[in-house]
Amino acid sequence: MEENKKILVFGGTGHYGQRIVKSLLAKKVEVRVLTRNPDKAQTLFGNSVEVVFGDVLSKNCIINSLKDVSGVVISLSAINPKQIRQMKRIELYAVISIIEKMEILGIDRLVFISVYDLRIELLKRLKIMKLGEIKLAVEKRIRESKLNWTILGCPPSFEIFFSLLRGTRLIAPGGCKNRIACQSPDDLGEVASQAILRNDLGGKRFRMAGPEAVNFPEVAKRMSVYSGKKIKLFTPPLLLFNVISWIVKPFNPFIRFIYYSLKLMNNFPEDLAEQVPGDHQLLLAEFDYQPKSLDDEIAITFR
């Protein structure tokens, strides 16, 4: 990577993006962020980053933000109540536009934050293709490009467990008995920041596995140990979420995508779960970082 060049992070104020930015700043790397909310960027980063005010849906804004950068990290997500209706525009069309503009401008290095794994047959069987079709299309376009690209496939972060904790009850819609891959968002930030600064990872896709795969019943037990209180598992039927998501879909499609995610978690492939420790070791062999475990996060939460 050339010296005295900036790294542009799309989605730099998001859940993963802000951690990528902070990891880059810790390495004394100049960072640029395109955002519609400069106040949020100021709160997160102070004056440490160059903030470009604009919208990723604007091709002119994309072009302006790409000037004089040597690498690009794309960590865009519209899976939230405010942007869900524009998901295809943000996560597909805008990303494709970024790739096209990079090719035109001769910017070679790209790190793309994707989903953990993309199994078309599973998505079709569960009838949740909408959960993965955009990332499938983007990854296809990236692989067809001549960019020096690296894809990081991200599972849910540890926060998913804490976001479903209500007092002494851990909500596990459908039971969530299947073990799932999960990770610390800080680990993703560190790996992504190292990856974008390297030129020897072209054409590689890494699954961002934490040290182990776990299920919700196991997490409830561990929370009980660290909190000193009995954390009970509350398992409302997944069918209930399906019905509710259909009812509210016309005015709140976000809930439908939450249902898709829950359905996938309840059907996470066991063979993928078994591969998690190996995937984690591959990351440790390729990148220099100290991973955080789920137990670390639980201990901090109940300290």
Q: Of 135, 51, 65, nearest to 107 (Cα)?
A: 65
User: According to the model, what pLDDT value does residue 1 have?
Assistant: 47
Q: Whole-prediction pTM value?
A: 0.95
* Residues 161-204 pLDDT 10s: 999 999 999 999 999 999 999 999 999 999 999 999 999 999 99
Helix 17-26 and helix 185-196, axial crossing angle in degrees, nearest 10? 60
Q: Please say whether the beta carbons of 273 and 181 come within 8 A.
A: yes
First to last CA, the chain: 41
Compute the distance between CA of residue 53 and CA of residue 56 in angstroms, rounded to an integer.
10
Q: What is the mean pLDDT of each run of 10 residues along the chain (303 residues)?
A: 76 97 97 96 96 96 96 94 92 98 97 95 94 96 97 96 96 97 97 97 97 98 96 96 94 93 96 97 98 96 90
Assign domain 6-155+183-209+273-291 to a CATH class.
alpha beta
What residue has token string 């290095």? Answer: 109
| Per-residue pLDDT, 3 | 53
Strand residues in the chain grouped as ranges (E): 6-10, 31-35, 50-53, 69-74, 109-115, 148-154, 165-166, 169-171, 204-207, 232-234
Q: Which amino acid is at 263?
A: K
Residue 68: predicted pLDDT: 94
- What is the DSSP track for 212-229? --B-HHHHHHHHHHHHSS
C-alpha 286/C-alpha 294 separation (Å) is 21
Per-residue model confidence (pLDDT) at position 79: 85
| Contact between residue 202 and residue 149 where contact means Cβ atoms under 8 Å apart | yes
